[in-house]
């Protein structure tokens, strides 16, 4: 994920799936990962899985998302979500299968909270989404200091009304290493599934 080294801001755009719009059935999600100038850095695609799980579990379904460089079929990052009813989590691995870390939802009455644990198991960052700011999730350290945020962006009237395709903006310190940025990128997909995936049906 070398392209993330000097990146401070990132945009994750979910592709409109016409089959999903027409039939109402969940299809495999696909995304474009871009810099703020619209230049594509990576593409992300949900791997083939059980159609029945997509239909019946919808946003709760387990998934594996592969992230690829636009010029290569070689996987740069793998994001895996096992099935859980509430304490949702993703495991993020690099292209060689090395675990970079885990993002896991925590119980909270007053906000939406995710703990970010690196490969050493240290819970030194968390992601917090205030209930009164439903489209914003702040990246904070253990002392509560803010270091960035993940924001759900307006996707356009047609896209918002007829599909569950979402756009996200991500901001983090430019000096963070690419491995840790990759872990935060994995958090974007988990947040998308949990909080925004089924909004069109609602």
Give 114-139 pLDDT, tens digit per residue. 999 987 666 679 999 998 888 999 99
71: Cβ–Cβ under 8 A, 6 or more apart, which residues?
none
Q: Which helix (H) or strand (E) holds 42?
A: strand 40-46
Q: 129 burial class (0-12, 13-18, 19+ CB within 10 angstroms)?
A: buried
Residue 13: which of 29, 40, 33, 41 has the closest Cα?
33
CA 185 to chain centre: 6
pTM for the whole structure = 0.84
Residue 194 is given by DSSP the state H
State the pLDDT at residue 57: 74
CA distance 202 to 186: 25
As a whole number of angstroms, the distance between CA 128 and CA 113 comes to: 5
Q: Which domains does the chain have, with CATH numbers?
A: 8-195 (2.40.160.200)
How do residues 38-79 score in pLDDT, each as one tens digit? 999 999 999 866 666 666 677 778 899 999 986 667 899 999
């Amino acid at each position: 994920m070398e392209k993330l080294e000097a990146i401070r801001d990132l945009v994750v755009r979910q592709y409109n799936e016409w089959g999903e719009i027409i039939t109402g059935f969940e299809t495999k999600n696909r995304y474009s990962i871009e810099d703020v100038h619209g230049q594509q850095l990576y593409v992300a695609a949900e791997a083939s899985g059980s159609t029945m799980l997509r239909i019946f579990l919808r946003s709760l379904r387990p998934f594996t998302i592969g992230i690829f460089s636009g010029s290569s079929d070689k996987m740069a990052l793998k994001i895996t979500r096992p099935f859980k009813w509430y304490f949702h989590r993703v495991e993020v691995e690099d292209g060689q299968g090395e675990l970079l870390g885990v993002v896991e939802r925590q119980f909270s009455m007053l906000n939406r909270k995710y703990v970010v644990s690196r490969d050493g198991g240290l819970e030194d960052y968390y992601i917090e989404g205030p209930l009164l700011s439903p489209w914003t999730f702040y990246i904070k350290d253990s002392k509560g200091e803010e270091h960035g945020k993940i924001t759900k962006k307006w996707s356009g009237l047609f896209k918002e009304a007829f599909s569950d395709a979402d756009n996200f903006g991500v901001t983090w310190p430019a000096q963070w290493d690419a491995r840790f940025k990759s872990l935060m990128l994995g958090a974007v997909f988990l947040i998308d599934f949990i909080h925004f995936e089924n909004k069109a049906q609602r």
